[in-house]
Amino acid sequence: MRKYSSILFQAIFASALFVSTTSCAQVKTVYQTDKIQQEILKKVVENNRKYTEEGEVADYIPELGKANPNDIGIAIVDKDGRVISAGDSEKTFTIQSISKLIALMIAVEDNGEDEVFRNMGYFGTNKPFNHYANLETDGEPLNPMMNAGAILTTALIKGEDDVPYQRVLDRIRYITNNDKIEINEMVYLSEKETGDRNRGIFYILKNNGWIEGDEEKLNNYFRQCSIEVSAIDLAKIGYYFANHCTRYDGDTTYKDANISALIQSQMLIAGMYDYSGEYARTVGLPSKSGVGGGITVSVPEQMGIGVYSPSLDKHGNSKAGYEMILELSEMYDLNLFR
C-alpha cells in the first residue's frame, strides 16, 4: 500500500509542477495520472490472479459453465469520467443480476417507487439470491436484488412482449455509450430451458395477483440477464449510479439523484446477497454482483469500478473480483465507513 501511495504522490507532485510551469499542462497531467493509474490496476490484477484458482464457475445455467475460470479484468471510471482498465477488461460475459439495477430504475420511472414497492420489501437478506420461501411466509419478495423481487420488478416495466427487455438493453447501451452491446442468445436459451426455479417464483407472484400476463414477462427477466457486457461497461454503470445518474461523459439526459440514492441503497443492503453485510463491513461500498462473474461498484459522487472473473464463491460472487475491489477500496481509502 505504501508503495502505491508513494507512486500516486509522485504523480500528483509531477502534475502540479506541470500545471504551474507549462501552458499545455492539462494534457500532460491527464496522461501522467492515467499512466500511473493503469500501472496500479495492472498490479491489482496480478496481485489477485491467484484467487481465480479458488471458487467455481456457475454451471446451474449450463451455458455459463463454458467461461474460462482464469479470466480476470478490472476497469475504473474516475471522478473526471476517464476510463482506465487492465487485464481482461474488454472481454464480454453476461451481466446477470447486475441488470436488476437497470430494471429497477425503469420500473420506478414507469410506476413510481411506492407502486414498485407495494408488494416488495427493502430488506437485506441472509439467504441466497434464488431464495423465495418468504413469498409464502411474509407474502412478498424481500427486495428487488434477489430473483423473486427482480422478476416482479421486470414484470412491472411497461410495454408489450419483449419491449420491457428492449428498454433495459437500450438503457444499458445508453449508460455505457456502447451500441455494440447485445444479448447472448445461447445463455438466454440455456437459462430459459433450465430456469424452473425462477419459473416457480414467477407463478407464485402471478398467483398472488401481482403479475398479469404470460411467461413472456419471465422471459424478459431471462433476456435482461443474458445481455453481454465487459468490466469497462460495468465501471460506467457504477459511475452512473454514483453520480446521480449522470453518464461518464457528462450527459445528463436521465439525471435523477433520487433514483440513484434508491439504487445505491439497495446495492449496499442486498447487492451481494447473503454476503452483503460482511461486504459492507470490509469493502464498504454499494456494489452489485452477477453469476456471470461481474461486479459493479459505485463510489458515491466519485467513481465507478467494474470487475470480471467468473470463478464464484459460495454466495455466487466473483472471488477474484471481490479481492480486487477490496484491495482498491483499501488502497484509495474508499470505504464509506472508515
Q: Which residues bind ligand GLN (CB under 6 A)?
A: 96-97, 129-130, 147, 191, 198, 225, 290-291, 316
Min CB(132)–ligand GLN separation in Å: 11
The answer to whether 229 is a known catalytic residue is: no
d(CA 14, CA 37): 14
CB closer to ligand GLN out of 85 and 198: 198
DSSP per-residue codes, 213-258? S-THHHHHHHHHHTBEE-HHHHHHHHHHHHTTT--TTS--TT--HH
How many of the other CB atoms lie within 10 Å of CB of 43?
16
Catalytic residue among 132, 239, 240, 273: 273
Using CB atoms within 10 A of its CB, is residue 136 exposed (0-12), middle (13-18) or buried (19+)? Answer: exposed
d(CA 181, CA 24): 36
The answer to whether 291 is a known catalytic residue is: yes
CB closer to ligand GLN out of 78 and 191: 191
The answer to whether 97 is a known catalytic residue is: yes
Catalytic residue among 51, 165, 188, 221: 221
CB closer to ligand GLN out of 96 and 219: 96
Min CB(290)–ligand GLN separation in Å: 4
Nearest to 102 by CA among 157, 158, 168: 168
Min CB(128)–ligand GLN separation in Å: 8
Catalytic residue among 15, 89, 97, 260: 97
The answer to whether 100 is a known catalytic residue is: yes
The answer to whether 192 is a known catalytic residue is: no
Min CB(307)–ligand GLN separation in Å: 14
Using CB atoms within 10 A of its CB, is residue 32 exposed (0-12), middle (13-18) or buried (19+)? Answer: middle
CB closer to ligand GLN out of 291 and 307: 291
In angstroms, the first-to-last Cα distance of the chain is 16
Q: Mind telling me the catalytic residues?
A: 97, 100, 221, 273, 291
